[in-house]
Structure 1
Amino acid sequence: MSSTSTSAQRADVYSRVTAEIISAIEQGAGEWRAPWFHHGTSIARPTNVSSGKRYRGINTLALWAAGFAAGYGDGLWGTYKQWQDAGAQVREGERSTTVVLWREIQVSRQDDDDGQRRMFARAFSVFNVTQVDGYERPATPTLPEAERLAHAEAFIANLGVKTEFGGSEAYYRPSADTVFMPPFTSFHDAASFYGVWLHECGHASGSKHRLDRDLSGRFGSAAYAAEECLVEILSGLVLADLGIAHHPRPDHAAYAASWLKVLKDDPKAIFTAASKAQQAADWMHARQSRTKAKATSTSATLRQPSHCDGNCA
């Protein structure tokens, strides 16, 4: 099969996967959650003991500040009652930290016009896990190493992006040109592991010596949101290419949807992200061909006899 027809078939698959992601977003993709067994141990990711969800916005900053000031080494938090429900007891004399929950309410009006929606805030007092007694973390399941997928490992290795494993966060650090990943055993399943790894390698594809995308956007900005959208779509595309997921996983759509909210003023945002995702996917596939060609060339060179000016025995 020619490379042209292969590229055309891949483009057709990419169009289908992108359309499914858009459809899922339009129908309501749900809430995204990290696909590894993250339970709040990282102080940089404050997490609620009851819901297992991360705190957001100003609450994240408040709990960071409180955690660092008190020297806490854990990011798990909960209200007095939530700790009681978890079978623990806040120690007497411990000081709480305040977080705020914003809720939207419908406000009725006297005339016949539609009511207005308003936000109101409710404060909660929370305590860190290091401030309680009697709490034991639930047993965390681990993903067997035997479920690693050799063809996916080879595909990612051919990208030439350095990866370091350990910790509980996944991210790409441009200054070191390195991807950092939680270990394989921390993930819910193999597809989640390779999806996140491809996501972070997708960021690496945008470095100046590769596809040269703008990676300078600050968290929460439109530029940051656009980059997150495109690498998550990229992850879904390449998982389909590798036969790991023939349809986009719900978490891909939910993650992209969370960032599309930032891009809501640009109706073409999803299509721009999809176009750049395809460019990055094509770059990843090109790396496979280049690596194989280089290996073949090296092997052929090693097989050639040395030059002996006609004096060989």
Structure 2
Amino acid sequence: MKSEQKNSVYEIVTQRIIDFIEQNNELPWRKPWATVESAQQNYKSRKPYQGVNAILTGMSGFSSPLWLTFKQARELGGCVKKGEKSTPVIFWSTIERKVKDDEIEDDETTKKFGFYRLYSVFNSSQIEGIEFPEINKPTQNFNPITKAEEVIRNMPNCPHISRDGNGAYYSPVFDTVTIPDTFFTPEELYSALFHELVHSTGHPSRLNRFKQEGDDHKFGSQTYSREELTAEMGSAFVLNSLNIANESTDNNSAAYIKSWLRALRNDPQMVVTAASKAGRAANYIMNKEADNVVGN
């Protein structure tokens, strides 16, 4: 009976997310933690990043919201510090091409094709020679949710968790999870934390999902995008199973998922595909013994 109830929760959450995505054209993702006084933005143009780019820069681990490309830094009289690694952002656009009309011989029509281009940007803290404005990091304080902490404490082979970072991310190289200590609400904290813990279940010492899906985890690839869907779906499953999800976490999860669906041809049914892997990951995190066998 418990298994049927668990599966029902997962199915209900999956359908709810699909419905919400299909009914809302505009779903801006909101960063659920406070790190800076302004939005993530390109320092030269002062244009805020949107969609996936706001997510990528926001979860990068830097307290400053200011970014520049290598070329822009040089143009402003600065340079990127030696050994610093860039953060990818996406430029989305369309191009018009003439294509033959299959129904009319020797006739051509103009169609629009979407494409994206990756750019590498560096945070202001990675750049020297430019006097950037000082950014203050706020603090938030609230009591932890006992049942969420209990799940984390009982997660099999739980990775090391650092809760004082400037962003939320999982490092597969070091097998560590990092999140900030400045979330607006405890529910949003656990939403992000379980998202990163779902990522960690792909490690070879757990569900070995990364190897099973192949090595193509290049940013923007379908494998990469599906993994992001899996992580957010898994987080939503855990929060709803613990009855600590709320409208804010549900809406932000839907916005996050929709932003990655763009790389998967905007097909909401990809959520269903990701839900299967997300379910196994959620079961693992919540220590459901029957589902914790690697390779099942």
- Largest Rg, 1 or 2: 1
Q: Conserved in 2, the CA contact under 8 Å of 1:230 and 1:276?
A: yes
Matched, 1:167 2:173: no
User: For residue 199 of structure 2, what is the aligned residue in structure 1?
Assistant: 203
Q: Deviations over 1:94-137 (max 9, x none)?
A: xxxxx99877799xxxxxxx996689xxxxxxxx798568x564
Matched, 1:178 2:176: yes
2:79 to 65, 70, 76: 70
Equivalent residue runs for 1:1-313 within 5 Å? 5-27=1-23, 28=25, 30-39=27-36, 47-48=41-42, 52-53=48-49, 56=53, 63-64=69-70, 66-67=72-73, 70-71=79-80, 131=130, 135=133, 137=135, 141-144=138-141, 146-159=142-155, 160-182=158-180, 184=181, 186-214=182-210, 216=215, 217-246=217-246, 249-264=250-265, 268-286=269-287
SS in structure 1 at match of 2:184? coil
Among all aligned residue pairs of Structure 1 and Structure 2, give the percentage whose two residues are the same amino acid. Answer: 32
Normalised by the length of structure 1, the TM-score is 0.62
Greater displacement, 233-242 / 22-31: 22-31
CA distance in 1, matches of 2:113, 2:272: 32
Q: Report how far residue 161 of structure 1 moved.
A: 2.0
Choose between structure 1 and 2 for higher RCO, CA contacts under 8 A separated by at least 6 residues. Answer: 2
Q: Conserved in 1, the CA contact under 8 Å of 2:191 and 2:235?
A: yes
CA distance in 2, matches of 1:193, 1:227: 20
CA distance in 1, matches of 2:14, 2:208: 23
Aligned residue-pair number: 240
Change (3 A) 1:179 1:10: same
Structure 1, unmatched stretches of 5+, are 73-98, 107-113, 120-127, 291-313
Structure 2, unmatched stretches of 5+, are 58-66, 82-88, 97-108, 115-123, 292-296
Q: Conserved in 2, the CA contact under 8 Å of 1:187 and 1:193?
A: yes
SS in structure 1 at match of 2:69? helix
CA distance in 2, matches of 1:132, 1:152: 42
Q: Deviations over 1:163-213 (max 9, x none)?
A: 12333222111121111222x2x2122111111110000011111121110
Higher helix share: 1
Q: Which runs of 4+ in 1 moved over 4 A?
A: 48-52, 54-57, 64-69, 99-106, 114-119, 128-133, 265-268, 287-290
